[in-house]
Structures are given as structure tokens and as C-alpha cells.
Amino acid sequence: QVHLRESGGDSVQPGESLTLSCQDSQYVARVGCTGWFRQDSGQNREAIAMIHRDGTEYYVDSVKGRFTISQDGAKNTVYLQMTGLNPEDSGVYYCALRSSPFCSLTWAPQSFPHWGQGTQVTVSA
């Protein structure tokens, strides 16, 4: 059974940085796609970044150049480095896994069968 655990969420000021971690008990990401999703106060959940097992990275336009997704197989962990944070980046961040030969930012959240519990990121002055 897949167990995902996110960590690293915090309250920060605009312009600051955070790094989120998603640890997987089995590193299922080896066989598929790991995504970071953000859920806002309106309960809308959207994909922010994804990384495939082959290392290909995917970003939505709003985070390109500011966020970096990476993976460490030895630690069974996928990271999301976030820089230049602004209030619009606030929300609950979830990581999710899906077995697939590729990733797509257009996939609905419901298509990911494995989720963590989420970690809160708050950006405010």
C-alpha cells in the first residue's frame, strides 16, 4: 500500500522561500508520475508541478521560474522548492502519485489514486 507524507509547509512573508517534501514508503514514483497540487480556500485543487520517473518536469505558467520539482530515489522523496512566494501561492499543498508512462498537468486530480494528507502554506505580510 502506498503511503505518502508531505512536510515543509509554513507561514512566510512575500518573497520568501519554502521547500516541501513528499515521502513515499515505496517510491512508487519510480513507475509513474508524482504531482504537487494546491488547494485554495475555495476548495479548488489544481496541479502546480509534476515530475516523471524519467526526470521530466512539468510546471504551470504561474510557477515557472519560481518553483522547482525534484526527486531523490535514495530518500524516496519528491521535493518542491518554492521561491519568490506571493499570497496567491497560499493553500494546502498535496502530493499525489499515478502510474503512467508520462505526466500531464491537464489530468484531473481524481485521476491520481494516491494522495498525502497535505501541508499548509500561508504567504502573507
Question: pLDDT tens for residues 84-106?
Answer: 999 999 999 999 999 888 999 99
Residue 27: the pLDDT is: 61
Q: Which DSSP letter does residue 8 get?
A: -
Handedness of CA 80, 116, 108, 78 (dihedral sign): positive
Is residue 34 within 8 A of residue 100, CB to CB? The reply is: no
Q: What's the confidence (pLDDT) of residue 75?
A: 84
Q: How far are the Cα atoms of 19, 52, 106, 114 from residue 9, in angstroms, in the given order?
A: 8, 23, 25, 20
Question: Which secondary structure element, helix H or strand E, spans residue 4, and what is its range?
Answer: strand 4-7
Task: Enumerate residue ranges in the chain where pLDDT < 70.
Answer: 26-31
- Provide the pLDDT for residue 30: 61
Cell 504531482 maps to which residue? 35
Give residues with Cβ within 8 angstroms of 83, minimum separation 6: 17, 66, 67
CA nearest to 36, candidates 66, 74, 14: 66
Rounded CA-CA distance 104/47 in Å is 9
- CA–CA separation, 70 vs 44, rounded Å? 24
| 118: its cell numbers | 497535505
> What pLDDT does residue 11 have?
98
State residue 41's pLDDT score: 85
